[in-house]
Structure 1
Amino acid sequence: MPAVSETGTTPGDGSVAVLARSLLDTASIPRASGQRLRVAPAHALTGEQLAAVQELTDRVASALGLPGVDVVPEPGPLTASEVAVSRRLALRTPGAVADGAPERAAERALAAFPGPAVVLPARDGTPLRCWSAGPEDAPAVAVVSACGMPVGLAAKWMAALSPEYRVVTWESRGLFAGDDGKGLGPLPDHTLDAQSEDVLAVLDGFGIARAHVLGLCGGAVLALAAAARSDRITSMSLWHGDWELGDDTPKTTHQRDIESLLTRVARGRPQAAAMHRLMSRPSTLEGLRPDIAHYLIHPYATAELLHRYGLLNGVIMATDCRRLLTAPQPALVVTSGRDTTAHPAGSTYVARHLPRAGLRTLPEGDHLTAFDAGAGLVALARGFLRTVTVPHRRGA
């Protein structure tokens, strides 16, 4: 191919830079499955064009250290996770590619925010894929994302808060494979105690003594559980929490359906495999936001992931949180009347019963917009953080 400069960075524009970022953004699924995914291009390609796309994709994936993908001529028959990845990659005919461009694009993608994972041990030795951003001497914020979600779903919160705070986050134990190509490691413990201790283990690994915890969805349950067990958690903000509160609050249809699904797949791998065959249909993607579907589908991508997700998130959704509502730290509880995923009445109850909590019920936004870290949400988070964190850095 003739040597030309790299141009274009619009998603799906066929540039090498965008391809590298997209492959890295969807890497959790092929890493965990241990095999090449089939992906369809964004539009019909001739045989020659298909070969060129495959060659370039293979080169970029190899430079990223990722399993390659098999580019197929038509969208079907693909699984739901393959369709989600296909949509994110939006492969199209590449233009002329400069010598060394795939390798340079891969290097830049790997270095881009939030950067490569740091693998830290949980207290039972389980490896945790972790990230840190922001000044090391600033007050710390631990972002506790929803169970089973890749780091990309929390990256906007990291980017928004890291100019003022040291922000750390991690991916759920046992649901994400490392970069060594060995697939998923063991899952020795899936209890709520183990998962909430991971909050403290991440702080240990980064040398952080005390932190605010920002919990999203089921991550709000883990944040609260960590605060109830340790005064190293100095304050918390709990966003659109997915709470189990017995008969004291209602649940949405979504909460009831997911809890039933998780109970079923947690019973054993045969049950998970049977359910996975049903959930692999592309119709599973209906109702999922296309821009983040490749994150949301991760814990459903393989039968083994689905079984482990049933164990981990099943415990989060089934634990009666009323016993945790003695946590004395100052707390901000946020929900929206438009949240049809996690019933806002749960957050209202939690705010009413925590000793030092305030409630904000927003007029706009649904469950998933909490992950978008929009300007209004970030301003709310920063305003609360400034009231509960040390206003100066250590040593200043």
Structure 2
Amino acid sequence: MTDVTTRGARLEPCAAQDSAGPLVLVNSLGTTSAMWDGLVPVLRGRFDVVRFEQRGYGAGDAPDGPFWLDDLVDDLVGVLDGLGLGRAHLAGVSLGGMVAARAAARHRHRVQSLTIICSAPVLPRASWLERAETVRGDGLATMRDTVLGRWFTPSFAAANPDVVTRYGDMLVANDTEQYARACEMLAAADVRGDLADVAAPTLVIGGSADIATPPGDQERYAAGIPGARLLILDEVAHMATAAVPERIAREIAGHAAAGG
């Protein structure tokens, strides 16, 4: 059983002599911390990198009942506390972006910089409740092609079938009930009221081909967070960290190092 204080967190020390501080990476829905594999070699050039598992995903502690966005924020703070980290840079994808944004608003003294990637301040409630119902009735495998079609552009999928297969396997390996509960959590999640309270230097990254959280969602983040910078990448879909990992890693590293 994983220690739920640190949620299976692992700290990968900076490869350079001087670290710019800890950088905590927050996963998207349906993925494990392996989603950051392509970024860590670059990020470790400047930071002590921390990865952990969201509750119900790989951490070995499936909740007994519903959980909500605030629970995931508490989990993130628990990771910081469990590792003895007073402050850290945060970067999150999709659901992870919502978690990181609320953490930055409610625990301002703990967040040194913030990077939000392919996320939305609020999501369509009905569609996420419908997804929860579909998953419970038919299983996660029935969602595989639909989700992968939102995560990757057709051209990327054709050129990188191994990456798409790996992410599809990561998705369907999730516990069906926990995934359904996470969909219900996303249906209720709304961080629009948190954005004005974010004080950390913020970079918002989106993809022009992201149909799950389109550029307009990134613009809402950037407009709501004081001083936030917006970057939209051409021909990149929702899983930008898999499509252009080195580019995303360089953007996170440059922004966080400057913000620190």
TM-score range, shorter chain: 0.7 to 0.9
Instruction: Give the distance between the partners of 1:159 and 1:256, measured in 2 at CA.
Output: 39
Instruction: Give the distance between the partners of 1:166 and 1:316, measured in 2 at CA.
Output: 30
Instruction: Give the distance between the partners of 1:371 and 1:307, measured in 2 at CA.
Output: 26
Instruction: Give the distance between the partners of 2:82 and 2:38, measured in 1 at CA.
Output: 22
Q: Indicate yes or no: 2:7 matched with 1:120.
A: no
Deviation at 1:355, TM superposition (A): 1.4
The secondary structure found in structure 2 opposite 1:334 is strand
* Structure 1 contact 153–292 (Cα < 8 Å) conserved: no
What is aligned with 1:217? Answer: 94
Structure 2 portions without partners, runs of 5+: none
From the superposition, tell whether residues 148 and 283 of structure 1 become closer, same or farther in structure 2 (CA, over 3 Å): closer
From the superposition, tell whether residues 379 and 301 of structure 1 become closer, same or farther in structure 2 (CA, over 3 Å): closer
What is aligned with 2:229? Answer: 358
Instruction: Give the distance between the partners of 1:283 and 1:332, measured in 2 at CA.
Output: 30
Deviation at 1:320, TM superposition (A): 2.0
The one-letter code of the counterpart of 1:203 is: L
The secondary structure found in structure 2 opposite 1:356 is coil
Deviation at 1:151, TM superposition (A): 2.1
* Structure 1 contact 160–373 (Cα < 8 Å) conserved: no
* Structure 2 contact 203–229 (Cα < 8 Å) conserved: yes
Instruction: Give the distance between the partners of 2:86 and 2:209, measured in 1 at CA.
Output: 37
Report which of the two structures shows the higher radius of gyration computed on alpha carbons: 1
* Structure 1 contact 279–300 (Cα < 8 Å) conserved: no
Deviation at 1:256, TM superposition (A): 6.8
Instruction: Give the distance between the partners of 1:277 and 1:147, measured in 2 at CA.
Output: 13
Q: Indicate yes or no: 2:197 matched with 1:321.
A: no
The 5 Å alignment of 1:1-396 reads: 119-122=2-5, 128-135=7-14, 138=19, 139-176=21-58, 178=60, 185-187=62-64, 190-231=67-108, 232-244=110-122, 257-258=127-128, 260-262=130-132, 264=133, 272=136, 274-276=137-139, 279=142, 287=149, 289=157, 290=161, 291-301=163-173, 305-326=175-196, 327-389=198-260
CA deviation vs aligned residue, 1:15-48 (integer Å, no higher than 9, x gap): xxxxxxxxxxxxxxxxxxxxxxxxxxxxxxxxxx
Taking structure 2 as the reference length, the TM-score comes to 0.81
Deviation at 1:377, TM superposition (A): 2.4
Q: Which moved more, 1:365-374 or 1:293-302?
A: 293-302
CA deviation vs aligned residue, 1:133-167 (integer Å, no higher than 9, x gap): 12397301110110231222122222220121011
Deviation at 1:374, TM superposition (A): 3.2
Instruction: Give the distance between the partners of 2:92 and 2:167, measured in 1 at CA.
Output: 17
Deviation at 1:257, TM superposition (A): 4.5
The one-letter code of the counterpart of 1:367 is: H
Instruction: Give the distance between the partners of 1:241 and 1:259, measured in 2 at CA.
Output: 18
Instruction: Give the distance between the partners of 1:189 and 1:330, measured in 2 at CA.
Output: 33
Deviation at 1:209, TM superposition (A): 1.0
Structure 1 portions without partners, runs of 5+: 1-117, 179-183, 246-250, 266-270, 390-396
Taking structure 1 as the reference length, the TM-score comes to 0.55
What is aligned with 1:25? Answer: none
Provide the identity percentage: 23
Deviation at 1:306, TM superposition (A): 1.9
The one-letter code of the counterpart of 1:197 is: D
Whose helix proportion is higher, 1 or 2? 2
CA deviation vs aligned residue, 1:297-319 (integer Å, no higher than 9, x gap): 445447xx222112124313431
From the superposition, tell whether residues 300 and 355 of structure 1 become closer, same or farther in structure 2 (CA, over 3 Å): same
Instruction: Give the distance between the partners of 2:88 and 2:227, measured in 1 at CA.
Output: 17
From the superposition, tell whether residues 187 and 337 of structure 1 become closer, same or farther in structure 2 (CA, over 3 Å): same
Deviation at 1:121, TM superposition (A): 2.4
* Structure 1 contact 142–212 (Cα < 8 Å) conserved: yes
Instruction: Give the distance between the partners of 2:9 and 2:100, measured in 1 at CA.
Output: 16
The secondary structure found in structure 2 opposite 1:243 is coil
